[in-house]
Structure 1
Amino acid sequence: MQPRRQPPPAPRPRGNCPGAPLLALLLLLALRGAAAAPAGPEDPRRPQDAGLSRGLLQQAARAALHFLNFRAGSPSALRALAAVQEGRASVSAGAAPVNPKEGCKVDLVFSTERYNSEEGEEHFGNCSARVFFKNQKPRRAINVTCTQLLEKRKRQQEDYLLYKQMKQLKPPLDVVSIPDSHGHIDPSLKPIWDLAFLGSSYVMWEKTTQFLHYYLAQLTSVKQWKTDDDEIDFDYTVLLHEFSTQEIIPCRIHLVWYPGKPLKVKYHCQELQTPEEASGTEEG
């Protein structure tokens, strides 16, 4: 009788697997670890897989981008997410491995593009970030570094041009909705939208969690104030779309901006579930 043929061994994992293979690789490693580990409780101090998924990496990338956009304080330097390239998540130290709701740490690399990118324009650059999602205040801590930043002189020129356009607008601004019902933004209103997006980046960064993702859906009102100095000072109302709950959340935001200076933002969002977390203020 011939000996029974053994099945071929599982392929050895390779490093830096992009996209979907990364998820399969981590699942394979988790299964092997579970089979080899002895029975009994695990050391909670040891970093554990937190059920890494594409969605969690996307959440971390969005949070890092909102923080980056707000910190830059420049409408011309706004970035949008192009693609998540790789990442790893682990449960925060001291948290139970079976309960990722206690918080998690995400290390990732992602590519970006200019928010107002033109057709055919290449990706803006890569970013590496470490994002801590926590279920108590402060809710997240972010460390992000990016390459291929917009050249400083060009950014200053574009910001000053937008600043001049805003200063030339005559109050009161009669803004009903940006974009309109057809999704169109009139070129004359583009500076208002860009500044509103910049200020909203702080609000979305504050509110993004490992489970909640916000998107700026519409700007519904704008009131620009006359000031004794050169700063742009205006109030506006936005509608934020939260994807997992499909809720539309109105937020009133007050923004003070001048090219090259830190951005100042105050806001209040109409939320019935967590009113204690519905407002904030920050200077970039």
Structure 2
Amino acid sequence: MGFGIIVFLAVIIGVLGSPGVTSRPEAAASADVSAHPNSVPETPEIFGQEKVLVLEEVEEDVMMTGELNPNQYPAQRAAKVVQHYLNTCYGSPYRVIGLNRVHSGNAQDVTDSGRKFQLEISVQDFISNKTEKCSAEVFFPSGGQQRSPQVHASCEELPKINTQAQEEALYQKYKTNQSRLSAELPDSFGHIDPDMEPLWHLGTVASSFIMLNESTENTLYNMAQVANITQLATENEQLKFDYHILLHEMVSQEIIHWKLLFTWSPPAGVKVLQMEQLPHSHHHEPLNTR
């Protein structure tokens, strides 16, 4: 079975008000959307007000073991899990790591226990735009009960990006914030104020804890929106936040609501206290902080 034809999907983008566009980390990740379950779109190109996605329709029988096609879903989904893992290890309001490219991949069945992926990928810090090639291993446990994938990754340079000064300034700003911030990112006009971008980045990093925990071989997650963010009273020198996050599961096309209670400080990083999946009709209320 050979490769199919190239499919062009043209999406007309309505422009209201100012032509300025707010750049967000998930904007790059949104290129992962595919109409065909085995296809991965190329990076979108913008021509005036028309956005054209070029999709490559591929074979139905995707190779699941042995050497993998880097552009097909087994390698891509495993690589996205590595992205979420790296964010849980190194992410901050000024360091958000995303998948740039899958160079090669190999998968093997581990007898009666799951499937292991060996990957060579490039990841990118969306804020500094620095890119690094990394080696990674992802193990998806088998069995009916949902268990988080196990990840090991070797990336030497990205964790060394120095964001200490910016993080300390942000920490001091919100540590002395008596009004205890409450906001929606982006707002109803799709805009994120530059002063609020670090909190959007913080939500992206914190949501990686959920996406890493929930990922399987058959999922592909991105954060779609911070529907609400509330700053809670600071405890033990840690800033404390209650986020209502919308995740986009790209395979099923579901938008899934989560509440996420976590703390952050420059020395300790993000520490998740509670994760709770919500019904679609949920109206946000702060998490019980007992």
TM band (smaller chain): 0.5 to 0.7
Asked which structure has the greater CA Rg, the reply is 1
Equivalent in the alignment of 1:164:
172
Q: CA RMSD in A?
A: 2.9
Contact in 2 for aligned 1:105/1:130 (Cα 8 Å): yes
Report the AA paired with residue 233 of structure 2: K
Shift of 1:63: 0.6
Aligned in 2, Cα 1:174/1:235: closer, same or farther, shift over 3 Å? closer
Corresponding residue pairs, total: 218
Q: 2:65–2:106: 8 Å Cα contact kept in structure 1?
A: no
Task: State whether residues 60 and 106 of structure 1, in contact with CA within 8 Å, keep that contact through their aligned partners in structure 2.
Answer: yes
**Which sits farther off after the overlay, 204-213 or 127-136?**
127-136
Query: 8 Å contact 1:156–1:260 — kept in the other structure?
Result: no
Letter in 1 for 2:66: D
- 2:158 alignment partner, SS class: coil
Q: What is the deviation of 1:189? A: 1.3
Counterpart of 1:87 in structure 2 is: 105
Is residue 57 from structure 1 mapped to residue 64 from structure 2 by the alignment?
A: no
2:118 equivalent in structure 1: 107
- Structure 1 gaps, min length 5: 1-22, 31-46, 96-102, 273-284
- In the superposition, the TM-score normalised over structure 1's length comes to 0.68
CA-to-partner distance for each residue in 1:135-170, whole Å, 9 max, x for gaps? 345331111111322535x22223213323433544
* Partner residue in 2 for 1:76: 94
Change (3 A) 1:125 1:165: farther
Aligned to 1:173: 181
Alignment of 1:76-155 (within 5 A): 76-94=94-112, 103-117=114-128, 121=129, 123-135=130-142, 136-151=145-160, 154-155=162-163
Instruction: Call closer, same or farther: CA 1:186–1:127 in 2, change over 3 Å.
Output: same
Unaligned stretches of 5+ residues in structure 2: 1-57, 281-290
Equivalent positions of 1:119-268 (< 5 A) are 121=129, 123-135=130-142, 136-151=145-160, 154-175=162-183, 177-265=184-272, 266-268=274-276
Aligned counterparts of 2:276 and 2:92: Cα–Cα separation in 1: 22
Amino acid at match of 1:166: Y
Distance in 1 of aligned mates of 2:267 and 2:181: 25
Equivalent-residue separation in structure 1 for 2:178 and 2:193 (angstroms): 16
Conserved? CA contact 2:182–2:231, under 8 Å? no
The alignment partner of 1:76 has SS state of coil
% of aligned pairs identical? 31
Task: Tell me: CA distance 1:48–1:196, structure 2 relative to 1, closer, same or farther (3 Å).
Answer: closer
Secondary structure of 1:238's match? strand
The offset of 1:82, in angstroms, is: 0.7
Residue type matched to 1:146 in 2?
Answer: C
Contact 1:132 1:142 in 2 (8 A): yes
Deviation at 1:196, TM superposition (A): 1.3
Q: Once the 2 structures are TM-superposed, how far is the Cα of residue 215 of structure 1 from its aligned partner?
A: 0.9
* CA distance 1:94–1:49, shift in 2 (3 Å): farther
1:57 CA drift (Å)? 1.0
2:103 touches 2:121 (CA, 8 Å); kept in 1?
Answer: yes
Give the helix-richer structure, 1 or 2. 1
